[in-house]
């Protein structure tokens, strides 16, 4: 083929459906006889449930049933599938409906099933719950102190787990020896994921076959089925089918098993009718998982020449009132182990206290652990540069892991045996400096300062980890993940040469149908249009762990690739047979099997597929059809990297930050579809910038979510942002044959520190070195005031 389809920016084939409104989201699905559920949620952040009176609610016309936790006593609490590795986890997880106690505002305590959702909602308002309010704590550090209200009997001091990585002694010693030690407390505020589509589920139960069908807004339908059947319902997984229809964004919040999904399934059986539950935005804010929420104390040791020798971190990770599905894994494996960043830091020690507080569950949110790590490391580099009066780009360069050091094992086993796969960190920094014309900016900045204007530039030289694997490393014996992390694919070449691929991962906005088809078309040498990709239904797709952690390309697409190799091998056998040639004399090229040196003596893959399906003349003993299923468990993770630079102007009169330029140079390995990668990076940057400047999940002292709606939670608007300038280098990953690394989270991970560093750079003449996020106008203005230069 003239131009390779792998690597070309073809338009997303999923868009026409989405743009024209044809795509079916959960809310679009209507089943015959379907009823609706509405959930009553606790108005208290911490309370005992004394009693619940449902009589008045039951009496409402159109109400089919009202249920409380006692009606589901036989169902155990939900599983926590990723407990922090190597330590005790004092796990407490939600029940389908809480029975005795609630530990956060928004916990589900009762449910109404009614003919329509308006009636259901009216009746919810009539349920009377007698609560005994208990003392509340919302801050993770406070919760871990003596005398704090206690949330769970099995978690003294509200500690879920006390986990550490790296070498404590070596790090202490290196800090002692360091020429300069910089200390800082750094907060990474709570965020609310805010997918456009909230969560929902529909369930149907067949008494005849004893089978459940559950539609849900999920990033991982196979895992949902496994957790629900094996851990909650105690039935064979074959008795449940889970389908994710089109999912309107997740950002991690739709990976998890939530009480309501199980509740809806259980209700479908109890009520004997199909049932739908769709949360409101208000419920999405209080009852769907939140992200981040770390308080960290850091100490970094450096030599006078800028060589970083030690990094010590203690982090309080707020996990919420109760554990979400993979909550403890995020601030441990995906955070602590990434604290070396792109730097040679010989000594690192990180202690993480996972703490229960009376807040919503905290779990993976786009980037999941890596944004928190990157934010610390990249703030640290600027704090050090400032202290040593070094240029931040030069300090970074000095500490970079050199390009010839890969595969590289960072800081004394901090990655627990894994290695950074490949990288060239100077190349992306140099490219970013060139694109931004850094030197010229510094001159402009100097001039602006003379006229009282504060311009700043911020760097973020990041690394992240995608396609987390291998199962033996991440699993129960290692990092505590209670499952595998391989991925699967089935490839079937039908009689006419049309290819159907089914995958264990599924999109919720990423464009799998396009990129996977590109891989297939490229590999088989067939038209893109001849490939379709099916997903999102446990019926008809092989088991897969789902879409998160930027793993669909680095793991899922590789499974597809591996299947294709075996399909090609079989096609060669059939082709050779059809050509009456020896298998050693034929090759597969451009969609054909041909005799070496004689390209015209060939059979197309379509002809071969036809023969494979009709099977009247196959090689002796060969099974019919071109059909293969692969399960791919990567030998290592992949490690994308890049340098982002942000340029800002700070209005010293108001504290407003204006982003003037944003340049991202990413390296996500080989790129299957540059346009899709750009789209992922754009969205990611917007989210990361929003953390730096605007978003903040705020609880008051009584555990009420003050930022409980979009009126008070500031998601980024397009008008707040400049047009991003994207560039990239391509360093293939040696981990997988596609050379891909993953691109779904890089933008979010990189951008937050770039923006904060830019603002601190702008304010550096005032001696301001750190302000905690979000850098609202007021916080920046206050810092300016306190540093005596309000002007």
d(CA 205, CA 213) in angstroms, rounded, equals 6
Residue span 665-694 as binding mask against another protein, x where in contact by CB under 8 A, dash where not: ----------------------------xx
CB of 25 to another protein, least distance (A): 16
Rounded to a whole number of angstroms, the minimum distance from the CB of residue 785 to another protein is: 8
Q: Are 142 and 162 in contact (CB under 8 A)?
A: no
Taking a C-beta distance cutoff of 8 angstroms, is the pair 652, 784 a contact?
Answer: yes
Question: Does 786 participate in binding another protein (rule CB under 8 A)?
Answer: no
Which residues within the stretch 266-295 sit at the binding site for another protein (CB under 8 A)? 280-282
> In the complex with another protein, which residue's Cβ is closer, 3 or 719?
719
Beta strand pairing status for 531-534 and 347-356?
Answer: unpaired
Coil, strand, or helix at residue 566?
helix
The neighbouring-strand residues paired with 133 are 47
Q: Residues 200 to 229: which contact another protein by CB under 8 A?
A: none
| Closest CB to another protein among residues 397, 779 | 779
Would you say 282 or 732 has its CB closer to another protein?
A: 282
Minimum CB separation of residue 195 from another protein in Å reads 16
- Tell the smallest beta-carbon distance from residue 340 to another protein (Å): 34
Q: Nearest-CA neighbor of 696 among 309, 285, 259, 313?
A: 285
Q: Which is nearer to another protein, 481 or 713 (CB)?
A: 713
Contacts of 242 (CB under 8 A, 6+ apart): 213, 214, 215, 216, 218, 221, 222, 224, 225, 228, 537, 538
CB of 383 closer than 8 Å to CB of 459? no
Give 447 or 653: the residue with its C-beta nearer to another protein: 653
Residue 783: CB minimum distance to another protein, A: 12
Q: Which is nearer to another protein, 278 or 735 (CB)?
A: 278
Work out whether strand 275-278 and strand 35-41 pair parallel, antiparallel, or are unpaired: parallel
Q: Are 611 and 429 in contact (CB under 8 A)?
A: no
Interaction residues for another protein, span 43-82 (CB under 8 A): none
Write the binding mask 124 to 163 for another protein: x where contact by CB under 8 A, - elsewhere: -x--------------------------------------
Nearest to another protein of 260, 667 (CB atom): 260
Of residues 101-130, those binding another protein (CB under 8 A) = 117-118, 121-122, 125
DSSP 251-285: TTTTSS--HHHHHHHHHHHHHSS-EEEE--HHHHH
Using a 10 angstrom Cβ sphere, with 0-12 exposed, 13-18 middle and 19 or more buried, the burial of residue 305 is exposed
Crossing angle of helices 370-388 and 746-763, rounded to 10°: 30
Member of 99, 403, 495, 777 binding another protein (CB under 8 A): 777
| Cβ neighbours of residue 156 closer than 8 Å, sequence gap 6 or more | 90, 150
Draw the binding track, 605-644, toward another protein (x: CB under 8 A; -: no contact). ----------------------------------------
Q: Is 782 in the site for another protein (CB under 8 A)?
A: yes
Q: How far is the CB of 498 from another protein (least distance, A)?
A: 42
Q: How far is the CB of 342 from another protein (least distance, A)?
A: 32
Nearer to another protein, 50 or 653 (CB): 653
Q: Which helix (H) or strand (E) covers residue 446, if one does? A: helix 438-450
Query: In the bound complex, what is the minimum distance in angstroms from residue 191's beta carbon to another protein?
Result: 13
Euclidean distance between CA atoms 653 and 637, whole angstroms: 47
CB of 37 to another protein, least distance (A): 13
Query: Which member of 93, 471, 673, 707 binds another protein (CB under 8 A)?
Result: 707
d(CA 705, CA 700): 7
Q: How far is the CB of 463 from another protein (least distance, A)?
A: 30
Site for another protein in 232-261 (CB under 8 A): none
Least distance (Å) from another protein to the CB of residue 286?
Answer: 13
- Tokens read off for 715: 């998601």
Does 523 participate in binding another protein (rule CB under 8 A)? no
Q: 712, 765, 767, 787: which one contacts another protein (CB under 8 A)?
A: 712
Minimum distance from CB of 721 to another protein (Å)? Answer: 12
Separation CA 250–CA 366 (nearest Å): 9
Tokens of 516: 């996977």
Q: How far apart are CA 674 and CA 691, in angstroms?
A: 26
Task: Give the one residue of 9, 206, 496, 654 binding another protein; rule: CB under 8 A.
Answer: 654
Task: Decide if 612 contacts 649 (C-beta within 8 A).
Answer: no
Cβ atoms 547, 506 nearer than 8 A:
yes
DSSP assignment of 359-392 equals: S--B---TTTTHHHHHHHHHHHHHHHHHHHT--H
> Is residue 715 involved in binding another protein (CB under 8 A)?
yes
Nearer of residues 125 and 599 to another protein, judged by Cβ? 125
For another protein, the binding residue among 720, 727, 737, 769 (CB under 8 A) is 720
Give, as one character, the DSSP assignment of residue 510: S
Contact between 396 and another protein (CB under 8 A)? no
Q: How far apart are CB 19 and another protein at their closest, in Å?
A: 17
Q: Is 781 in the site for another protein (CB under 8 A)?
A: yes
Ramachandran category for residue 525: left, alpha or beta (phi over 0 → left; psi -120 to 50 → alpha):
left
Q: Which is nearer to another protein, 629 or 782 (CB)?
A: 782
> Shortest gap between Cβ of 117 and another protein (angstroms)?
6
10: DSSP letter = P
Stretch that binds another protein, among 102-110, 447-455, 757-765, 771-779 (CB under 8 A): 771-779
Collect all residues with Cβ–Cβ distance below 8 Å to 236 and sequence separation of at least 6: 229
Interface residues with another protein (CB under 8 A)?
117-118, 121-122, 125, 280-282, 653-654, 693-694, 696, 698, 706-707, 710-715, 717, 719-720, 776-778, 781-782
């Amino acid at each position: 083929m003239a131009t390779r389809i792998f690597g070309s920016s073809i338009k997303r084939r999923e868009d026409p459906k989405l743009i024209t409104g044809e795509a079916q989201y959960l809310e679009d699905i209507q089943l015959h006889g379907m009823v609706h559920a509405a959930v009553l949620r606790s108005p208290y952040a911490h309370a005992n449930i004394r009693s619940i009176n449902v009589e008045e609610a039951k009496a409402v016309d159109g109400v089919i049933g009202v249920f409380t936790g006692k009606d589901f006593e036989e169902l155990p609490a939900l599983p926590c599938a990723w407990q922090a590795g190597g330590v005790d986890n004092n796990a407490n997880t939600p029940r389908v409906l809480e029975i005795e106690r609630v530990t956060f505002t928004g916990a589900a305590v009762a449910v109404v099933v009614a003919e329509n959702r308006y009636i259901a909602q009216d009746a919810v308002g009539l349920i009377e719950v007698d609560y005994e309010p208990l003392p509340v704590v919302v801050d993770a550090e406070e919760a871990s102190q003596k005398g704090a209200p206690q949330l769970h009997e099995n978690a003294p001091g509200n500690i879920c787990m006390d986990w550490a990585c790296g070498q404590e002694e070596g790090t202490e010693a290196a800090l002692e020896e360091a020429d300069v030690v910089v200390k800082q407390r750094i907060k990474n505020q709570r965020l609310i994921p805010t997918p456009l589509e909230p969560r929902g589920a529909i369930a149907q139960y067949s008494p005849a076959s004893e089978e459940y069908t559950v539609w849900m807004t999920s990033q991982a339908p196979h895992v949902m089925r496994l957790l629900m059947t094996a851990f909650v319902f105690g039935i064979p997984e074959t008795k449940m089918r889970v389908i994710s229809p089109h999912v309107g964004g997740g950002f991690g919040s739709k990976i998890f098993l939530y009480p309501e999904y199980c509740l809806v399934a259980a209700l479908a059986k109890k009520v004997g009718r199909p049932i739908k539950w769709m949360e409101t935005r208000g419920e999405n804010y209080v009852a769907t998982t939140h992200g981040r929420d770390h308080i960290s104390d850091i100490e970094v040791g450096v030599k006078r020449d800028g060589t970083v020798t030690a990094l010590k971190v203690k982090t309080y990770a707020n996990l919420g009132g109760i554990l979400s599905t993979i909550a403890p894994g995020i601030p441990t494996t995906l955070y602590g182990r990434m604290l070396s960043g792109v730097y040679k830091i010989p000594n690192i020690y990180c202690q993480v206290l996972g703490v229960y507080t009376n807040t919503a569950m905290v779990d993976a949110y786009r980037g999941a652990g890596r944004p928190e790590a990157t934010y610390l490391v990249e703030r640290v580099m600027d704090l050090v540069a400032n202290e040593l009066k070094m240029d931040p780009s030069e300090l970074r360069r000095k500490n970079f892991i050199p390009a010839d050091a890969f595969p590289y094992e960072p800081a004394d086993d901090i990655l627990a045996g894994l290695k950074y796969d490949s990288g060239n960190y100077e190349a992306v920094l140099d490219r970013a400096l060139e694109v931004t014309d850094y030197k010229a900016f510094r001159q402009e900045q100097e001039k602006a300062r003379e006229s009282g204007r504060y311009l700043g530039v911020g760097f973020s030289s990041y690394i992240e980890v995608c396609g987390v694997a291998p199962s033996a490393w991440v699993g129960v014996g290692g990092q505590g993940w209670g499952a595998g992390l391989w991925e699967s694919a089935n490839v079937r070449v039908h009689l006419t040469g049309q290819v159907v691929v089914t995958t264990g991962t599924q999109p919720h906005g990423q464009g799998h149908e396009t990129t996977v088809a590109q891989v297939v078309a490229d590999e088989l040498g067939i038209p893109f249009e001849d490939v379709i990709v099916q997903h999102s239904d446990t019926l008809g797709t092989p088991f897969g762990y789902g879409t998160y952690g930027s793993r669909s390309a680095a793991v899922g697409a590789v499974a597809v690739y591996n299947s294709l190799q075996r399909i090609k091998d079989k096609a060669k056998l059939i082709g050779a047979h059809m050509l009456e040639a020896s298998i050693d004399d034929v090759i597969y090229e451009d969609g054909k099997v041909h005799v070496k040196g004689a390209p015209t003596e060939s059979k197309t893959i379509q002809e071969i597929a036809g023969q494979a399906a009709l099977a009247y003349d196959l090689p002796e003993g060969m099974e019919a059809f071109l059909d293969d299923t692969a399960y791919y468990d990567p030998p290592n993770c992949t490690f994308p990297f890049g340098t982002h630079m942000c340029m800002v102007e700070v209005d010293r009169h108001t504290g407003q930050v204006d982003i003037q330029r944003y340049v991202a140079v990413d390296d996500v390995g080989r790129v299957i579809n540059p346009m899709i990668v750009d789209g992922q990076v754009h969205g990611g940057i917007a989210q990361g910038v929003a953390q730096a400047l605007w978003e903040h999940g705020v609880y008051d002292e009584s555990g009420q979510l003050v930022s409980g709606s979009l009126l008070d939670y500031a998601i980024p608007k397009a008008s707040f942002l400049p047009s991003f300038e994207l560039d990239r280098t391509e360093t293939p990953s040696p981990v997988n044959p596609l050379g891909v690394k993953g691109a779904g989270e890089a933008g979010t991970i990189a951008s937050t520190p770039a923006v904060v560093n830019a603002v601190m750079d702008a304010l550096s003449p005032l001696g301001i070195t750190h302000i905690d996020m979000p850098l609202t106008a007021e916080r920046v203005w206050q810092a300016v005031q306190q540093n005596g230069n309000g002007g």
